[in-house]
Amino acid sequence: MPELPEVDSYRTGLAPTMIGWKIKGGKALWKNASDADFYSIINQKITGFDRRGKYLILNLDKSNIIIHLRMTGRIDLTENETPEYTTVELDFYNNKKMCLVDYRKFGKVWVVEDIEKIVGHLGIEPLSKQFTSKKFKLMIKKRKGTLKPLLLNQQFIAGIGNYLADEILFRANLHPLRTADTLNKKEINELYLSIRHIIRKSIRFGGTTFLTFRGPEGKKGKFWKKLQVFRKTGEPCPHCKRPITRIIVGQRSTHLCENKQKLHKKLH
Ligand SMILES: [Zn+2]
């Protein structure tokens, strides 16, 4: 599932190519994917790209196109036939097409003037200047819940999905079932550093390649080679060599080293 790094690689990859392109039209080939008024954006040019959480934002002269790839969505630029499984297509005067290709069809496209209408509910951007360790300490002190679902909560921090959450908790030596109110100062700081470190590292390596994700140039991300625990059930932990285990937390597959990420601390 595309998470913050994968969406960010579309942002940085598509911007140099697509800025200045003028829209000729657009349509939803799968009705549930969009009820946007594509007539309203005809003749508008792309002026910029942005991202909030897992949402990709195309700024136009007057409006914005917002795309969420959900489970299996990817973006294809083409000049030829519309690819199979395209749910939404945008056409440009240079004869290129931007297609949301999505075989499970959960991805969505909006056209809005006010971006906040769609992304206003999102929590803090984990790589922003505002997300300091001091700020994180205050954020986590208000929470009591289990760590894994908390990291996945887009209203808490925007952009973290299943693979990032598992990798972050592994690096921070925190069991996914620990609750926020049991963390000491040092653990809170480790969690903060791990959030920044893992997301930055995944962006640097172009994200992962799970399911249908490919980068903007059709190239596969290399971060999957750097994964320590995600989808590594039974393989040796890179630190202690004990097998990685898989548990279910909040209905999500969760991977961890139970030796490195202890649920209960020894009482001595
Ligand atoms: Zn281990």
* Domain range annotation of the chain: 4-119, 133-256
- In angstroms, rounded to a whole number, what is the distance separating the alpha carbons of residues 81 and 48? 26
* Cβ neighbours around 17 below 10 Å, total: 13
pLDDT reported for residue 219: 67
Give the tens place of pLDDT for each residue, 91-107.
999 999 999 999 999 99
| 216 pLDDT higher than 80 | no
- H/E run at residue 249: strand 245-249
Mean pLDDT to the nearest integer, 237-264: 96
- Find the 169 Cα to ligand 1 centroid distance in Å: 12
pLDDT reported for residue 186: 97
- In angstroms, rounded to a whole number, what is the distance separating the alpha carbons of residues 130 and 53? 15
Helices vs strands, H then E, count in the chain: 6, 10
Give the tens place of pLDDT for each residue, 189-210.
999 999 999 999 999 988 875 5
- Find the 236 Cα to ligand 1 centroid distance in Å: 8
* Cβ–Cβ under 8 Å, residues 110 and 66: yes
The residue among 50, 53, 51, 43 whose CA lies nearest residue 21 is 43
| 84 pLDDT higher than 70 | yes
pLDDT bracket for residue 212 (50, 70, 90): very low
- In angstroms, rounded to a whole number, what is the distance separating the alpha carbons of residues 77 and 100? 9
pLDDT reported for residue 137: 98
In the predicted model, what is the mean pLDDT of the chain? 93
Catalogue the active-site residues.
Answer: 2-3, 54, 252
Of 38 and 213, which is predicted with more confidence?
A: 38
CA diameter of the chain: 70
| 213 pLDDT higher than 90 | no
By CB atoms closer than 10 A (0-12, 13-18, 19+), residue 37 is exposed
pLDDT bracket for residue 214 (50, 70, 90): low
| 225 pLDDT higher than 90 | no
Architecture of domain 133-256: Orthogonal Bundle (1.10)
CATH number listed for the domain at residues 4-119? 3.20.190.10
- Find the 257 Cα to ligand 1 centroid distance in Å: 5
The single-letter code of the amino acid at 200 is R
- Find the 123 Cα to ligand 1 centroid distance in Å: 31
Percent of the chain with pLDDT over 90: 87
